[in-house]
Chain A
Amino acid sequence: MGSEIALLTIFVLSVFTGVEVISKVSSTLHTPLMSGANAIHGVILVGAIIVTGHADTLGELVFGLFAVLLATVNMVGGFVVTDRMLEMFKGRKKQEPAS
C-alpha cells in the first residue's frame, strides 16, 4: 500500500471517529467541547516545528518562528482555558451533597 493511500485511509477513518466520539454530547458541554477541539488543532505546532527546523533562509526562519508562536498560543491557551471551564463543573459537583 502506497503511503498516499495509507494517509487517505487514516483520513477517512478519522472522519468517522471524529463524528462518532462526540455524537452523544449533551448541550451542556458544547462550549468546553468546542474549546477542547480547538486546543487539539493546536497540534499544528508539530508541523510548525518541523518546517522551522528545516528553514534555510532568514525569511523562512522568521515566518516559521511566528507559526511556532501562534501554534503554541493555540495549543497551550486552548487546553488551559478548557480546563478552567471544566474546573467549575467539578466545583459544582462537589457541592451536590451539601445542597
Chain B
Amino acid sequence: MSTWAQLGYLAAAVCFILSLKGLSSPRTARVGNLLGATGAVLACVITFYEYDVDNLNAILIAVAVGTVAGVVGARMVKMTQMPQLVALFNGVGGGAAALVALLELVPLEGDPDPKLAALIAVGFTVFVGSVSFAGSMVTFAKLQELMTTRPVLFPALPVVFGVTLVAGVALAVDVVVNPLIWVGAVLSVVGLLFGVLLVLPVGGADVPIVISLLNALTGLAVAASGYVLENSLLLVGGTLVGASGTFLTRLMAQAMGRSLANILFGALRGGSTLGGGEVSDRPVKSAGPTDVAILLGYAQRVIIVPGYGLAVAQAQHTLRDLVDVLGSRGITVDYAIHPVAGRMPGHMNVLLAEAQVPYEQLKEMDSINGEFKQADVALVVGANDVVNPAAKSTPGAPIYGMPILNVDEAHRIVFMKRSMRPGFAGIENELLFDPKTTLLFGDARDSLSKLLSAVKSL
C-alpha cells in the first residue's frame, strides 16, 4: 500500500476515535457522529483507489442499493422502533463480516503454508459473525413483537445449546487445521444456530443488553477480518467497537443490577430470570381521570416516571402537553429517568427529546432520587420494575440489587397501568397495594389525554 493511503487510513481511524469520544457528550455528539461518517467515506474512497478492485461496476451498484436501503430504513423508522433497527443494522454488519471471512478462506485454502494467526482469525470471524447475524435477527423479531418477548425455553435447550457450542468450537479448530471452504460454511451454519439459541432464552427486558453485546461481538469479528487482510483500519475500527461495546454492555448490566452471565444464561440454568408472572387479586385503590387530575392540579411538586408502557402507547407527546399545562399552573414538574427505562438504555431520553421535552426537566436517577421525599405526587406512566421496592427489600427477587427510583418516598403515588399484569421481570409490585397509591387503568395515551382535558377544566 502506498504511504498516502496508509496515512488516509490513519486519518479515518482518528475520525472513528474522535467520533466515539464525541458521542460521549451531548454537546459534541452530533459532530462526533458526522466525523465518524466522514472517516468511513474516506476509508471507502481510499480502498477503491488503492486496491486493485475488479468487478468495480457491480460493487458500486451494490453500494448504491445498500445506501438507498440504509437511508430509507433509517429515515422511515419511528423513534419507538429504534432499538430493533439498531439490532437489524448490527445483524447485517455481522453477516457481512462472516461472508468476508469465508471469502478470505478461499486464498488460504490453496496456500501451502498459511499463517496460523490468520486462520484462527478467519475461524473466529466466521463463527462470531454468524452468531451476531442470527442473534440480532432473533432480537429484531422479539422487539418487533414478531415473536413472544418472554424467554423461549424447551427442556432439551441446555443440552442443544452445549452441543452447538462444542460443535462450533470444534469446527473453528477444524478450519484452522484444514482451511477448507466447506468446513467454513458448516461452521457458519452452526454459528447461525448458536446465535438463535443464545438469544431465545433472553427475556424482553434484557434484550437491549444483548444488542449491545452482539454489537461488541460484530466489532471483534470486523477486527479479526482486518487482521487477516492486514488492513489496519478494519483492525482499529473493529477493535474500538468491540472494546467500547463490551464496556457499554457492562455499564448497562450494572444499571440493571445484573451480571451478564445471569442475563444470558439465567434462564438456561433453570433458575428463571422471571417471577411467577401471576396476577394477584389483592384489593387496590383505583380512580378515574378526574380524581387524578385534582391530585395533580393542586400539587406543588410532581415527578413523572416514564417507562416502557409510555413508549408503546406513543404517549410521549400527550405527556408533554400535560406537563406544560401543569407547569402553567405553577407546578414544578420533572421527569425521573431510570437508566434502563424504555427498551434500550437511554431510549427514554430519545423518545422525550422527540416530544421536545426541555432538557432541564429530564433528571437522571442519582440526581432526582433525593427529591421524591418532597414530591406531592409521583406519576408513574407505564413503568413498573424500575420503581419496584422489591429490588431493595426482597433478596431473591429477580431484580434484587437493581437501583430503583425512590417513588415509594413520595407523598402520593399514581400508577397509570394497562392492567395488573406485572412488569417484564414478572414480579408483583408491593407499591401497587400501598395505601398512598392510586391506580389509573387504561392505555397510556388514552388516559393521558383524558387526564389532560380534566386538568385543563380544573
Given the contacts A18-B240, A40-B237, A96 and B359 also touching, CB distance less than 8 Å: yes
Q: What's the minimum C-beta distance from A55 to chain B, rounded to whole angstroms?
A: 6
Number of A residues with CB within 8 Å of any CB on chain B = 83
**Is B271 part of the binding interface, using a Cβ–Cβ cutoff of 8 Å?**
no
Main secondary structure of the interface of B (DSSP, over half): helix
CA–CA, A29 to B70, complex, Å?
Answer: 22
Given the contacts A89-B26, A90-B30, A77 and B106 also touching, CB distance less than 8 Å: no
> Is there contact, CB below 8 Å, between B66 and A76?
yes
CA–CA, A69 to B93, complex, Å?
Answer: 10
> Is there contact, CB below 8 Å, between B74 and A17?
no
Contact of A40 among B19, B59, B67, B246 (CB under 8 A): B19
> Is there contact, CB below 8 Å, between A11 and B40?
no
CA–CA, A46 to B288, complex, Å?
Answer: 59
- Docked complex: A22-81 residues within 8 A CB-CB of B: 22-56, 60-61, 63-81
Q: What's the minimum C-beta distance from A79 to chain B, rounded to whole angstroms?
A: 4
Contact of A99 among B225, B346, B353, B358 (CB under 8 A): B358
CA–CA, A91 to B356, complex, Å?
Answer: 7
Contact of B20 among A18, A30, A72, A83 (CB under 8 A): A18
> Is there contact, CB below 8 Å, between A43 and B237?
yes
**Is A10 part of the binding interface, using a Cβ–Cβ cutoff of 8 Å?**
yes
Contact with A along B182-222 (1 / 0, CB 8 A): 00000000000000000000000000000110010011001
CA–CA, A49 to B104, complex, Å?
Answer: 12
Contacts of A73 in B (CB 8 A): 66, 69-70, 73, 89, 92
Q: What's the minimum C-beta distance from B105 to chain A, rounded to whole angstroms?
A: 10
**Is A88 part of the binding interface, using a Cβ–Cβ cutoff of 8 Å?**
yes
> Is there contact, CB below 8 Å, between A63 and B236?
no
Residue of A nearest to B219 (CB): A41
> Is there contact, CB below 8 Å, between B232 and A33?
no
- Could you say which interface size class chain B belongs to? 35 or more
> Is there contact, CB below 8 Å, between B82 and A72?
no
Residue of B nearest to A91 (CB): B356
Contact with A along B1-39 (1 / 0, CB 8 A): 000000000001000110111011110011011101100
Contacts of B247 in A (CB 8 A): 18-19, 22-23
> Is there contact, CB below 8 Å, between B234 and A44?
yes
Contacts of B86 in A (CB 8 A): 31, 34-35, 38, 78, 81
Contact of A34 among B71, B248, B358, B364 (CB under 8 A): B248
CA–CA, A74 to B51, complex, Å?
Answer: 22
Q: What's the minimum C-beta distance from B238 to chain A, rounded to whole angstroms?
A: 6
> Is there contact, CB below 8 Å, between B36 and A40?
yes
- Docked complex: B349-369 residues within 8 A CB-CB of A: 349-350, 353-354, 356-360, 362, 364
Q: What's the minimum C-beta distance from B212 to chain A, rounded to whole angstroms?
A: 6
CA–CA, A81 to B56, complex, Å?
Answer: 28
List 6 A-B pairs, minimum CB-CB distance, nearest first.
A72-B66, A18-B243, A77-B70, A53-B53, A76-B70, A14-B239
